[in-house]
Structure 1
Amino acid sequence: MDTPLELVPWAEGDFWLLLRKNEPVMTEHLGGPESGAELKDRHQRYLALSAREPAAGRVFRIVAEGESVGTIAFWERTWKDEEVYETGWGVLPEFQGRGLAAKAARALIAHAAAHGTRRHLHAFPSVEHGASNAVCRAAGFVLLGETSFEYPPGQWHTSNDWRAVLPG
């Protein structure tokens, strides 16, 4: 069955989802849980990004069958001298393994293509994060190879550089 999925712009009442995404199982490949103050700052950044024009990026709550199942976002960055978008996502453990992240990524690609100004969308999952790499593959990203990537700031690791071309 094809589960209906919606990307809902981040809102003030979505802070609870950041708390869920801050659990150790969800932050294993992201440098570990953040402090309460860091989460409040992240929430404010998400609200600010979602208040800007759609071409600058957006943070979304992923909703499937009426339930909030995770988040997905895209934002501007410069990568290898090109102005691109970067994306990242997280689906709560109880909703993983259903293809929802890949479906959300495909919806995000369509959104960025319709509203954005950049030609490429990149994702940089750790080479060791099999699930996120599988999402990239299933969503239609092309693997460009391994790269050294800094996230969170000060923590370098080997990531895969996945790229989707944004038609438009």
Structure 2
Amino acid sequence: MDGVSERTGVGGERVRLVPWAEEDLWLLRRLNSPEATAYLGGPESEDRLLARHRRYVEPAAGRMYRVTLADGGETVGSVGYWQRTWQGAETWETGWGVLPEFQGRGLAVRAALAVREAARAAGSHRYLHAFPGVGHAASNAVCRKAGFTLLGQADFEYPKGHWIRSNDWRVDLDKED
């Protein structure tokens, strides 16, 4: 999905997914705060952030998006999907971040629902996984509300040298909701 995608949620507030662009580095920097990365091992260095931005602008497989409010166009966060080898199979993985001033409004759930549709439209893989830390109540709630199924727990090294215990949530993209 190269264009813009919208998703309306409960309460009527809609989000729009806009493909990540060169000028979106500011958002990545905002989402790199200690609070926003507490469940991911902390903020990344500027060099790692610039490398991540490059991958977001020119993805090898998958797509990153800036999440905006459909009415007004304010940027509220990011969401995306990318390829991962998981348990011997190629699959999509997803992740998201919402700026602090927009949290608690259900926008991450709407973004997760919209990115599910984007991954479904991309084809290639049957499943979309999310791996929030087991202690990250908000991201686990997003998975549940966005229709993911909890499969269990797994350990991930992210960033390199830092192990995280995560929940493995999955959506079957071959099944329509």
Counting aligned pairs with the same residue, the percent is 57
Kindly indicate whether the alpha-carbon contact (under 8 Å) linking 2:120 and 2:173 is maintained by their aligned counterparts in 1: yes
Q: Which residue in the other structure is 2:3 paired with?
A: none
Kindly indicate whether the alpha-carbon contact (under 8 Å) linking 2:134 and 2:140 is maintained by their aligned counterparts in 1: yes
Q: Which residue in the other structure is 2:56 paired with?
A: 46
> Which amino acid counterpart does residue 81 of structure 1 have in structure 2?
G
Gaps in structure 1 of 5+ consecutive residues = none
Post-superposition Cα deviations, 1:10-44, rounded to whole Å, max 9, x if no partner, equal 00100100110011111111111112222111111
Q: Which residue in the other structure is 2:83 paired with?
A: 76
Post-superposition Cα deviations, 1:81-103, rounded to whole Å, max 9, x if no partner, equal 11100111100011001110011
Gaps in structure 2 of 5+ consecutive residues = 1-10
Deviation at 1:154, TM superposition (A): 2.0
> Which amino acid counterpart does residue 65 of structure 2 have in structure 1?
F
> Which amino acid counterpart does residue 43 of structure 1 have in structure 2?
H
Listed as ranges, the matches of 1:23-62 within 5 Å are 23-49=33-59, 56-62=61-67
SS of structure 2 residue aligned to 1:44: helix
* Counterparts of 1:83 and 1:73, CA distance in 2: 16
SS of structure 1 residue aligned to 2:67: strand
Aligned positions, number: 163
Calculate the TM-score normalised by the size of structure 2. 0.89
Calculate the TM-score normalised by the size of structure 1. 0.93
Q: Which residue in the other structure is 1:139 paired with?
A: 146
Matched, 1:129 2:141: no
Deviation at 1:116, TM superposition (A): 2.3
SS of structure 2 residue aligned to 1:78: strand
* Counterparts of 1:148 and 1:36, CA distance in 2: 26
* Counterparts of 1:27 and 1:154, CA distance in 2: 15
Where has structure 1 moved over 2 Å in runs of 4 or more?
none
SS of structure 1 residue aligned to 2:124: coil
Q: Which residue in the other structure is 1:120 paired with?
A: 127
